[in-house]
Structure formats: structure tokens, C-alpha cells
Amino acid sequence: MKSSARVWDDTVLPFQLDKSDIRGRVARLDGVLDGVLKQHNYPKVVEALVAEMALLTAIIGESIKLRWKLSLQIQSKGAVRMIATDYYGPTKKGEPAKIRAYASFDENRLSEAPYFEQLGEGYFAILIDQGKDMKPYKGITPLSGGSLASCAEAYFAQSEQLPTRFKLSFGKSTEKNRTEHWRAGGIMVQHMPKSSIEVSGEGGSGEDGLMVASDLLTGDEHDDWNRVNILLDTVEEIELTGPAVEPKNLLIRLFHEEVPRAFEPQNVEFGCTCSEERVRQSLSIYSAKDIEKMTTPEGTVTADCQFCGAHYNLSPETVGFQASENGQS
């Protein structure tokens, strides 16, 4: 059951601006963030990073096909060492997608600085798993630009040559008859792909030579992109998080002259795929000697899911590649 009566919470609405040849998505997250964040007791700056990462994952993930998995990852030398999110495409059309997320950090190194500054030198990665017998896709870009949204924009410019812009808002919300909780919302606009793009080998005009949208567009396309971005900049944070503004109404408010066309929204929910079977599979690379070292004084091998906090107790004889025949591996 949704944590809110608003039908547009925990949804991603794809749309197209026919006049500008630009596509996009509007996302609203509420219960999803509750599900992700209540599994952990993160400091507020870490919660903010996880909330933004989950929001980006929902917006980007809407485009993947049924049963595919999209993962966003941050690896950093800063106080927040890693953030990982997964988006599982629906198994059937009409079903919700599932999102999970977690972060690894050094609490002693966290500061009062803005949340993005808790990250140090590192990279932002997008991975797409298309299923069994298919080679996963992976794209990487440096951490840059002052937000995770700017990192995602850089990824699309470098790896996909797609001009992309995100406008995001997230934070603690206080609503009538509800305890304080996290809400997030955002819009992505993206120029439709062209059949061929000529990219200079001299690098882009962005930070550290990264490509940016203006490096990829010319002529009328550049004018269309600038016009849509000017309109996007008029959006207010309260409109993005959306307690009172339906996504379709927001599109009309922002882009009515661009002829917006909305498609079927995709529902999303918190969900984890961990299981005892998957834990056993992950331990199948270890020998009986290795398993013995992992065994607790109580005589069990334990494992915790970093995403949802599930705890597993296994008999050491049933795990590893030398598990007994009577084991369950």
C-alpha cells in the first residue's frame, strides 16, 4: 500500500515535447525513499546523497526493458566511499519496477560541508544487465559538477552523446497527519538521439574537458534545447517534489508551447532481491577451509544484506564449493 493517497507518488512519467524533438521524464518518490532509508541509520548528509541517487535511478531506469537491471554506482576517496542503487525492470508490463540502495561511509570523516563535498575524487558509473548470456554494459565518468545530477549529465554527454539535463529536489517533508519523511521529485529532459554525431577529439568545454550539451548541438537543435532549458529553469522546488501538482499538469505549466505528450507512467516501489539461495551462490567460490574461518563461535556462517538488512544464518557444511552432499548449496 502506498504511504500517500496521491496517485502520482512513486511514479515516473515519460513524455515528449513534439515541437522541440526532446523527450523526458517526471519522477516523484515518497514511499520508495521511506523503504530505502528506513533500513539504515544514515547521517543526514548521507541520506541526502542516497535520496538523490535513488531519484536519478528511478528517472534513468524507466527507459530499460522488462526484466533488465540498471545499477548506478559511486566510488569515492571521500568520507562517503560508495553509493550503490539497483533498478529492476518489471517482470511484466503493468507491474511496478523495484529500487534498492545503500551507502558505505566513514562517519569520522563526515563534515558540515554540503553533501556533495562528502565525496572525494572518484567516479560515477551506470551499469545495465540485460539478462542471462548477455554481456553487461558499463559506462563511467568522473565525479564532477557539484551534484550527482551533473555527474549523470556528464555520463550521457560522454558515453551516449545525448544532451541531457536534470532538475531535482529532495529533502525532509512535513505533511498533515504524517511524520516527517523524505520526498523527492525531478524532471529529466534529453534531446532525441541523432543518427550520427561528429565529436571533436579535442575534448569538451565542460569541467576537465568533459563534453556538455552545447558541444553536441548546432543550429535549430541548439535553439530548441536552450528554449526548453529556459522553461525548465522556471520550475519551483515545491513543484518538483509534487505534493500538490500532478506531473501532467506540471508539464503543461512548463512546456505548453512545446506541445507536451505524456505516456503511461511507471510505478516504482522499494524491493530487494536478496535470498538464502543468492547468499549460498555468493559463498560458492570458497573452500571448506575458507568457510571455517568465516564460521562464528556459535557454529554458523552469517551474512547480512547491505540493501535491506536481512540476516542469514547458514550451516557451514552447506556452503562453499566443498559443501556436503546433504547440504543445500
Query: Residue 298 sits in a domain of what CATH number?
Result: 3.90.1280.10
Query: Is 6 part of a structural domain of the chain?
Result: no
Q: What confidence tens digit (pLDDT) does each residue in 2-32 have?
A: 444 588 899 999 999 999 989 999 999 998 9
State the DSSP string of 130-163.
--TTSPPEEEEEES-TTSHHHHHHHHIIIII---
- Please compute the mean of the pLDDT values over residues 128-154 and round it to a whole number: 91
Whether residue 283 is found in the same domain as residue 266: no
Asked whether 185 and 29 are in contact (CB, 8 A), the reply is: yes
Q: What confidence tens digit (pLDDT) does each residue in 162-174 have?
A: 999 999 999 888 7
Q: Which three cell numbers stand for residue 205?
A: 568545454
Whether residue 264 is found in the same domain as residue 185: yes
Which domain range does residue 264 map to?
11-270
- The pLDDT of residue 5 is 58
Q: What's the sign of the alpha-carbon dihedral 214, 217, 219, 220? A: negative
Half-sphere exposure of 323 toward its Cβ, with a 13 Å CA cutoff?
A: 19
| Portion of the chain with pLDDT greater than 70, in percent | 94
Q: Is the pLDDT of residue 197 over 60?
A: no
Whether residue 254 is found in the same domain as residue 295: no
Whether residue 18 is found in the same domain as residue 137: yes
- The pLDDT of residue 260 is 95
Asked whether 51 and 182 are in contact (CB, 8 A), the reply is: yes
Whether residue 175 is found in the same domain as residue 294: no
Q: What's the sign of the alpha-carbon dihedral 269, 239, 62, 252? A: positive
Whether residue 83 is found in the same domain as residue 225: yes
Kindly report the length of the chain.
Answer: 329
- Which CATH number is 144's domain given? 3.55.30.10
Q: Is the pTM of this model over 0.75?
A: yes
Whether residue 208 is found in the same domain as residue 281: no
Q: Is the pLDDT of residue 85 over 90?
A: yes
Q: Which of 63-67, 110-114, 308-312 has the lowest mean pLDDT?
A: 308-312
| pLDDT, the chain, mean | 89
Whether residue 154 is found in the same domain as residue 297: no
Whether residue 37 is found in the same domain as residue 106: yes
Comparing C-alpha atoms, which of 167, 186, 197, 229 is closest to residue 22?
Answer: 229
Number of compact structural domains in the chain: 2
Whether residue 241 is found in the same domain as residue 172: yes
Helix (H, G, I), strand (E, B) or coil at 40: coil
